[in-house]
Structure formats: C-alpha cells, structure tokens
Amino acid sequence: MPGNKLRTAALAAGALALFLTAAPVQAPAQDATELLRQAVDAYAKYSYVGQVQNVDFGSTRAIAVLFRIEHRAPELTRRWYLAPESLYGESIISKGDTSYDIDPHQDRIVVVRDDAIEDQVAEDDNFGLLLHNYRAIMGPPENIAGRRAYAVLLVNRYDGQTVMRISVDADTKLVLEKERYAPSGSVSHQMHFENIRYTAGLPTDLFSVPTSGYTRVNGPSHGSPSADLRAVVKTAGFHALGPTYLPEGFVPLAGDVSEIKGIRTLHLIYSDGLRTVSIFENARGAAVDLTKYTIHSAKVHAHDAQYVLDGPTTLLAWAQGDLHLTLVGELSQTDLVRIASSVAP
C-alpha cells in the first residue's frame, strides 16, 4: 500500500540520517584513543608485583631478560633479574628520575640520573603528536597474565605501517604487553607480563638502596634537554649540521650539549610521537667505539659508514669533513641512511 511504503521510506530515511549524524561520534577509534590516554597515566596510579619478560629481536638473534617487578605508585620501582644467568641476583631500583643498579657480583651500585623522566609537559606534547601521526585501532579482546585485556594497534597515518601493538588491562589500563614492529613487519621488541597482582601494601623499605658494603659509581647524568634548539646548536661551539630530510610526521623535540671525555658533543632528538631519532655530533674527531657489536658497512653519499643493531634501535656512524656524526633511532637502516644522506649545514 502506498501509505505503508511512504512510512517505511520515511523510517528508512530517518534511520539513515540518524546513522549519518551519529557515525563520527561512535567511531571505535574514540575508545582506543581514550584507552591510550588512560594507559599512559596508569603507571603512576597503580601499585603491583609481577614478572616481566623483555625480548629484543636483532636481525639474527634475540636477547631475552626476565625480571620480577615491584612497583609502588607513583614512582618507586624495583626490578629483580632472574635471567639470563649473568644478571641473576642483580636489581635496579628506580626512584623518580634516579636509577640504582645494585650489582652484588662486583659489590657496586651504579647511579644514573635522567631529568627528562619527570618532564610532564613534554610527555603531554608528545602524546598529542602521537595521536596526530598515528591511528589507534582496537584489536580483539585478549587474556594476558590471567587478566582481561584490550589490544590497541598504532598505525602510522602516512605509510599505513603498524608500528606498535599494546595490550592494556581492561580494569586498570596498565600496559600488560607491548610489541614494537620493524618496517619489515617483524617483531623488534616485546614486553610481556607473565603474571601480575595489584596491591596497595608494598612497604617503602623494599625500595631502599643499600648504604654499606657497596662502592657507589656515578654513571652519566642526563639533564633536562632544552626545546630551544637554536640555543643548543649555538652552545655546541662548532658549525653543526642537521638533517634536511626526516620521515613524515617527525619534528625536532629537544637537544642538549655534553662534554664526554673532554669532547663537546651535540645531541638533537626528533620524533613522530612514537619513534625517535637522535643525531650526535662532535668536531674533535672522536669516533664511536662499536667493538662490542656486530658491525655492518654502509655508504652515506661518498663517505664510509658503519651501523649496528641493538634490539629495535639502529646506530649509524660516519665522518663528514671535520665532524663525526652518529644517528640512533627506532628506524630501519635504510631510513637512517636516507636521513644521514640529507645532513647538511
């Protein structure tokens, strides 16, 4: 009947209009983004004990580390190493920006300070950059370490590459598993909780650093980097070079200048919110010592270059005129060579 048809058509049009107006608001990515935001904050909100496995995958082999972790929110953490055997018995206590590596084999404590850890403004800015350059896509529900979890894929908006998958606890939003992918699609790094138990009762004594019986050794202190890159480059005291090509979405973040063994070294870091690349420069002929790594050869224009792989991180070193340059980043060797080839005054 014409009346019924008309009513059906009107209902269909109304439903379509409702769908059209509601569609952007109900996009599943909205949940994924909120999940990511909560996951970033969860580390400082929840206390827990558990066991974690970290695996760094190189091109031909992998390095796995197993540790027990005790975390008292917001900033006290102790990691007890269970494997490999060479690390068994060692532990690292982190208190905010300072870490203490307690080595009972050599009766020493290595103290490392990193001021950047507490830079909340930089963290917020970088999270905005991450959302701008990456699409967060919900994966299927999972069960990790006996807990219900949501998977979120982070897909680069420019090349469609999935760079990371994180799985967050459905209740606390703590990251229970994380995989970082190489440009080839292979897994380059994996962090995985084997078990976890949330607790509010961790005593602070658990995080006290021994005061006797150990020799204290100060490792390098990493001060707060400056976002004023022009000032940083001027402070270097030599004519610094910079890359004229960076992968899409990368912007300069910060930099600093240090003197290592009397060599003034400029460090600039660039990021797209998830991946980063650093460039180190010195004008005093100090080459990088790669003797502990498997060295591969490359060419940066006509210059001989060397690169090594350290888990998901690649280091490329070469000399250009009076400068010794080193690129370090979670990018492929091909990407790093392309960036290196663009380095110019």
Partner 1 sequence: MMQHIDNETLIDYMHGALPPQADAAVYAHMETCAQCREQFEAEAALTEMLHSYAAATERDFPSTLKAEIWSRVRSAQPSFWSRVRDNLRPAVFVPVAAALALAAYFGSTLLSPHAPPSIEAAYYLQDHAALNTTVPFSDRNSSTPVDLQNGAMIAPSEETAVNVQPASYTADAGQ
Window of 4-12, 142-150, 195-203, 215-223 that interacts with partner 1 by CB under 8 A: 215-223
Task: Please state, in angstroms and rounded to a whole number, the distance separating the CA atoms of residues 40 and 9.
Answer: 47
Q: How far is the CB of 5 from partner 1 (least distance, A)?
A: 24
Among 7, 8, 10, 30, indicate the residue that binds partner 1 (CB under 8 A): 30
**CB-side neighbour CA atoms (13 Å) of 87:** 15
Strand order in the sheet with 108-114: 134-144, 147-156, 162-169, 175-181, 187-198, 48-57, 62-72, 76-83, 91-95, 98-103, 108-114, 215-222
- Residue list 55-94, contact with partner 1 (CB under 8 A): 56, 65, 69, 77, 79, 81, 87, 90, 92
d(CA 345, CA 320): 11
Region class of 283: left (phi > 0), else alpha (psi between -120 and 50), else beta: alpha
Q: Is 275 left (phi over 0), alpha (psi -120 to 50) or beta?
A: beta
Task: Determine the Cα–Cα distance for residues 279 and 260; give it in Å rounded to an integer.
Answer: 15
- Minimum distance from CB of 203 to partner 1 (Å)? 21
**Which one, 6 or 63, has the nearer CB to partner 1?**
63
Residues 268/252, Cβ–Cβ less than 8 Å = yes
- Cα within 13 Å of Cα(272), Cβ side: 20
- Minimum Å gap between C-beta 216 and partner 1 is 10
In sequence order, the β-bridge partners of residue 136 are: 154
* Comparison of 313 and 320: residue with beta carbon closer to partner 1: 313
> How many residues would you count in the chain?
345
Question: Applying CB under 8 A, which part among 2-10, 18-26, 141-149, 206-214 lies near partner 1?
Answer: 18-26
- Looking only at residues 136 through 195 of this chain, which bind partner 1 when binding is defined by CB under 8 A? 136, 157, 164, 166, 175, 178, 189, 191
Q: How far is the CB of 59 from partner 1 (least distance, A)?
A: 17
d(CA 335, CA 161): 14
Based on CB atoms, which residue is closest to partner 1, 6 or 287? 287
Among 74, 146, 285, 321, binds partner 1 (CB under 8 A): 285
Does 267 participate in binding partner 1 (rule CB under 8 A)? Answer: yes
Stretch of 6-14, 141-149, 199-207, 211-219 lying at the interface with partner 1 (CB under 8 A): 211-219
Residue 228 or 304 with smaller CB distance to partner 1: 228
Q: Is 13 an interacting residue with respect to partner 1 (CB under 8 A)? A: no
Min dist. Cβ of residue 129 to partner 1 (A) = 9
Q: Which of 68, 192, 222, 303 is the binder for partner 1 (CB under 8 A)?
A: 222
Stretch of residues binding partner 1 (CB under 8 A), selected from 7-15, 142-150, 204-212, 286-294? 286-294
- 228-247 binders of partner 1 (CB under 8 A): 228, 230-232, 234-235, 243-246
Judge contact between 207 and 98, C-beta under 8 A.
no
